[in-house]
Chains A and B, each alone.
Chain A
Amino acid sequence: MTTADELAVLAIVEDFRRIEPSYATGLPLSMEQARCVTRALRIDVFRMKMQSIALLSPWIEGDYHLAINHDIHGEKEKHILLHECAHVVRGDVREPTRFAFTGDYPAAEKWCDVAALLGVMDEIVIEQGSGFVEYWMRAHLDYDDRGWIQYRIEDLAPRVCDAWEFIRARDGDSGAAGGTRVRTRSRWRTR
């Protein structure tokens, strides 16, 4: 965890922890906790029938609006909520609209994904047929269709594991997580 982008992930985690102190401590957030983060950031979430996974508005007089595909539920929905919250705390959506139509935020997408996964998953197992792989492929089918950059699991998962390791070491030293020890069981295997 040395590059500016990687440090940016930790900054997102810090910001989330101000709202949810248990964020990225090794236990996945509940859906209610994820919704709590969106409310704290004043993101109005609603469902919409559409092809896209989600649409996030820029800041409109104090509020953001997030439309989530009406077919998306469960873990994927939680990941989307946290991913979009990460965009908000990074400030990606302060500028009107440009992000949505130019799709030129590859780094932002990557690091928002990493930050969101830290709040959703308690372990990363890269094996064919594993829950994580299936989840990731489903989550990104839409990106393929739309020509967005899609991060390979093999690229992304180590970043998540690195971030967990870094946070665990830091929290262990400073007790920053209120004395909670990380109980993440990160495993990184490839075939």
Chain B
Amino acid sequence: MGQDQSHVKSLDPDGPDGSSDKELVGRFLKLVAGFSGQEVRRMVPGVTDNDMSRWRRGDFARLSAAKRRTLVAYVEGEPLLRLRTAVNVRRTDEQRASDAAVRRSAGTADAIIASLGDPEFIRRHAGTVSREEWADFGYEIAMRRHLPPDEMKKIMDWRESILRDDS
């Protein structure tokens, strides 16, 4: 938003792991989505609150070699090790983490529909799971992700389409 983005052009396009700083930070942010800056700092020593707020604003200043190594190690590291670290962090402040999860509003109707299946597929295969329940399930997920009204409209259309009588 009006920030000077000229520094972005100076980013190293081919870091040691083959990714640019921007790509690397982008992958990192995706993995820690839903965690507060403080939690990330506890999960990934070497990353500061200041780093997180800058990166989340889209400010990808050139990474130092040490910072890049830290991010590469985390991004390329074993997923379950990441989970274990994350859960340990969460355990120390569970209530706040739970609040953060509820507040998290990532996602769009398209993402939910892509995951739960298009109405045609569901209408064709419903049986072991009722299509009514699956439609309600999608609706509940959308509610929990706090989708804005225009996105909720897509979910409602998806739901209606699933429930529509075939005859």
Contact = CB atoms under 8 A, between A and B. Distances in A.
Interface of A: 15, 18-19, 36, 39-42, 44, 46, 48, 50-52, 55, 57-63, 65, 67, 89, 96-98, 100-103, 146-148
Given A41-B83, A46-B140, A61-B107, A36 B91 contact: yes
B133 A97 contact: no
B87 A62 contact: no
A48 B83 contact: no
Mostly, the A contact residues are mixed
B80 A62 contact: no
A18 B133 contact: no
Contact of B117 (A39, A42, A96, A103): A96
Given A62-B106, A97-B122, A55 B115 contact: no
Contact of B107 (A15, A58, A60): A60
A46 B142 CA distance: 13
Interface string B93-113: 000010001001011000110
Contacts of B33: 62
B153 interface: no
A96 B101 CA distance: 23
A42 B107 CA distance: 14
Given A58-B115, A100-B129, A148-B128, A67 B106 contact: no
Interface string B39-60: 0000000000000000000000
Given A15-B80, A58-B115, 18 more contacts: A39-B90, A39-B101, A40-B90, A44-B101, A48-B133, A52-B133, A55-B129, A65-B144, A67-B137, A97-B116, A97-B121, A97-B122, A100-B128, A100-B129, A101-B117, A103-B127, A146-B129, A147-B128
Contact of B125 (A46, A57, A67, A102): A102
Q: Which residue among B30, B33, B81, B115 has the maximum number of chain A CB atoms within 10 Å of its CB?
A: B115
B128 A103 contact: yes
Contact of A51 (B121, B126, B133, B141): B133
10 contacts: A19-B84, A39-B97, A41-B83, A50-B133, A60-B112, A61-B111, A62-B34, A67-B137, A89-B80, A102-B125
Nearest to B122: A101
Contact of A18 (B80, B91, B121, B128): B80
B80 A101 contact: no
A69 to B, nearest CB: 10
Nearest to A60: B115
A52 B91 contact: no
A40 B115 contact: no
Given A18-B83, A97-B115, A44 B133 contact: no
Contacts of A67: 137, 140
Given A39-B87, A62-B30, A101 B126 contact: yes
B103 to A, nearest CB: 12
B134 interface: yes
